[in-house]
């Protein structure tokens, strides 16, 4: 991304966003911690995992609202996904066991939605993020997992949900941490 072709307003906006790089870093770290808790599902109950999934959805929703507030285009799409994630998070927090079992039933569809969203995000950030392909790979993997998961029985889906929710959180954490440092670099480039 060349900063020489940017207007003064665009440089100021990029510098301001670059100062907030730590938001993506903290979100990424939180995603990684949640993934470790989910993947260590030895003695935790389904209710606990339902609460963690609710928190994951709330975090994803808040992140989408933040992106909508700073995005140049597609604000409505970021806000719509934010709303969907926040509503799902609230439902999961108030009914964690039911939310967990419901998610296990529709796991393939959920992974398909996440995969499609990540694919769209990858192409939306392609011009501004040299590591856009990480989001593209994560999206492709989620779509493949969606089709694989769809054919399993509910009991197998329950275990699959635990494993893949942990993997989902881990992939979101890694991509957010990567985005944090790209945003930091772009913000520094714009300020000079």
Residue 11 CB burial class (10 angstroms; 0-12, 13-18, ≥19) = middle
pTM over 0.75? The answer is: no
Domain layout of the chain by residue ranges: 12-187
pLDDT digits (tens, 9 = 90+) for 24-69: 999 999 989 888 887 776 555 567 778 878 888 898 899 899 888 8
Whole-Å CA distances, 171 to 8, 52, 133: 35, 16, 13
Positions in the chain whose pLDDT score sits under 70: 1-4, 41-46, 151-155, 157
**Residues written for the chain:** 192
pLDDT value for 50 = 83
| Other beta carbons less than 10 A from residue 70's beta carbon | 12
Cβ(146)–Cβ(112) under 8 Å? yes
C-alpha distance across the termini of the chain, in Å: 14
pLDDT at 2: 55
């Amino acid at each position: 991304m060349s900063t020489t072709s940017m207007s003064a307003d665009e440089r100021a906006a990029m510098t301001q966003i670059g100062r907030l790089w730590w938001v993506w870093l903290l979100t990424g770290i939180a995603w990684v911690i949640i993934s470790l808790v989910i993947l260590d599902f030895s003695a935790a109950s389904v209710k606990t995992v339902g609460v963690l999934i609710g928190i994951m959805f709330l975090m994803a929703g808040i992140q989408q609202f933040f992106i909508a507030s700073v995005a140049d285009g597609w604000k409505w799409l970021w806000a719509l996904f934010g709303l969907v994630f926040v509503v799902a998070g609230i439902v999961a927090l108030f009914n964690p066991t039911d939310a967990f079992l419901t998610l296990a039933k529709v796991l393939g569809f959920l992974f398909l939605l996440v995969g499609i969203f990540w694919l769209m995000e990858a192409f939306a950030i392609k011009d501004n993020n040299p590591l856009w392909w990480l989001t593209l790979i994560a999206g492709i993997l989620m779509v493949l997992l969606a089709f694989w998961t769809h054919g399993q029985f509910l009991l197998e889906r329950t275990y699959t949900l635990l494993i893949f929710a942990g993997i989902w959180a881990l992939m979101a954490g890694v991509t957010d941490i990567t985005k944090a440092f790209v945003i930091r670099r772009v913000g520094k480039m714009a300020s000079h």
